[in-house]
Chains A and B, each alone.
Chain A
Amino acid sequence: MTTASPISPRQALGAITLRNYTTYKRYWKLFLTGFLEPVLYLFSIGIGVGQLIESFELNGQPIPYAEFVAPGMLAASAFNGALLDSTYNVFFKLKYDKLYDQMLATPLTTADVARGEILWGQLRGASYSAAFLLVMLAMGLVHSWWAVLALPATLLIGFAFSAVFMAWTTWMKSFQDFDKITLVQLPMFLFSATFFPVEAYGDGAVRWVVEATPLYRGVVLCRELTTGEPTWASGVSVLYLLAMGLLGMVVVRRRLDTLLRT
């Protein structure tokens, strides 16, 4: 079993990406409208509801509500996109399409499959994030060059959640199990300081719990970057998300090995 694989990991990644691109071209309408969703949320919540809110304090500075909520939407949309790609799509390919079985009949390895799927999710997520940042810029919600780093920050969020949710998906038995994902997704989306500051939880244990969740780290990271106020906590967020993603990758690969190589 020590024979060298006929293709390198990079070639494998290229092949899987090309395959995904070819099949996805058919769904370009879905792709295009997918970008609309966070923008609509920004207009509705940021502007519509924002007119009812005076302003928030951020690092001692008052900040208009739209400026507060936009980076939250940016992070949440990276999170939602990664989640959809790595749960429903992966489940379908794993269980019904048997796509990964087919891929493994070629020189591809389970590690290639995991990397390929996550890279594809990242490419899609990156295009959404970049478009959203441009909308923020056009609306005058960005005032700092640090905001350029918000794009890699959303990629980091996407990577961390893709890996972990893909790992989780490998344990799913039927579509009924997806309710459990909704039970995790929705509270995270609503309660991760996306729509209101974490101070709403007071100073107790609830706030500690919220601050320890990955989406909260991602939201705050994006907010620190788009408002131009990165801190040491931003570094903590980066390391947290990176570790989460790498851990997820290891689990995904092992699970695909046991599921498909037996």
Chain B
Amino acid sequence: MATLHNAAAEGVLRQVDYWWTVFKRTWRGSVISSFVAPLFYVVGMGVLLGGFVSAAPAELEGATSYLAFLVPGLVAAHAMQLAVGETTYPVMGAIKWHRSYHAQMATPLRVCDIVNAHLVFVALRIASACAVFLLVLAPFGVFVTWWGPVLAWFGLILLGMAFATVVFGISARMTSEEGYGVIYRLGVVPLVLFSGSFFPIDNLGPVLGWVARLTPLWHGVDLTRMLCLDTVDATTALVHVLVLVVITALGWRWATRGLEQRLGS
């Protein structure tokens, strides 16, 4: 067993530096999308629009201001968008355009090493971007405890991986990038808008509220918000974590199988 673990770890380590090198050369472009853009949303929606919101904490799931309500939702939605962004075009590119997966297959690396390495890189991207986001927001006084955002950070990485693994699996099976436009417009955008990031899902009414509760993003949003606002309900939090872990595990299988079929043939 020990040797098998070592082999997997070695395969990943040998490969993560590839993505790290790519990132070192292209990170400047990601600063705006992964950092400046969410900050604009915090100021525009949270501070300025929030100034017009006069709802009681009971209407805002326990938050004392709209800003405090919005911030955890925005970070969670951001983690999802990063995960999707890193597993759509980059995966399609590695399979189809610059074919770096094929090049990697010509080495002793296995398909699962390639998938794992890419996913580790995505996790690092999400971890660093969310950490910076949370640190910058701390002075706004939106966090109740110091350990809440720290735990939330782990939850955000998990949320990101749930999406990254599933979307990786889709990308591994997709033949044309045209489908991404539809994935973004029918998947990512509605999730961001209706999974409790911008307003409590109770405002959606009973039926749509339950639909929202079934989406993976809502589990991440609610988990992040409970931790940031110190309103944790242990059972609910456990359910959220469990759902995200199960999706990540199934997604990982789906991604590995997909790439195996794609590169095997």
Contact = CB atoms under 8 A, between A and B. Distances in A.
Contact of B199 (A29, A33, A52, A56): A52
A135 to B, nearest CB: 15
Contact of B44 (A40, A53, A56, A191): A191
Contacts of B55: 52
B225 to A, nearest CB: 15
A30 interface: yes
B198 interface: yes
Contacts of A195: 44-45, 48-49
A53 B198 contact: no
Given A44-B193, A48-B194, A49-B49, A37 B185 contact: yes
B230 to A, nearest CB: 21
Contacts of A40: 189-190, 193-194
B54 interface: yes
Contact of A30 (B29, B33, B49, B181): B181
Interface string A35-78: 01100110111011101111010000000000000000000000
A24 B198 CA distance: 34
Contacts of B45: 190, 195
B53 to A, nearest CB: 5
B41 interface: yes
Given A40-B189, A40-B193, A187-B40, A30 B182 contact: yes
A159 B196 CA distance: 36
Interface in B28-59: 28-29, 32-33, 36-37, 40-41, 43-45, 48-49, 51-55, 59
Interface in A176-234: 176, 179, 182-183, 186-187, 190-191, 195-196, 200-201
Contacts of A27: 178
B112 interface: no
A56 B48 CA distance: 14
Contacts of B59: 52
Contacts of B189: 37, 40
Nearest to B70: A49
Contact of A48 (B44, B186, B204): B204
Interface of B: 28-29, 32-33, 36-37, 40-41, 43-45, 48-49, 51-55, 59-60, 66, 178, 181-182, 185-186, 189-190, 193-194, 198-199, 203-204
6 contacts: A43-B194, A56-B52, A182-B32, A186-B37, A191-B48, A195-B48
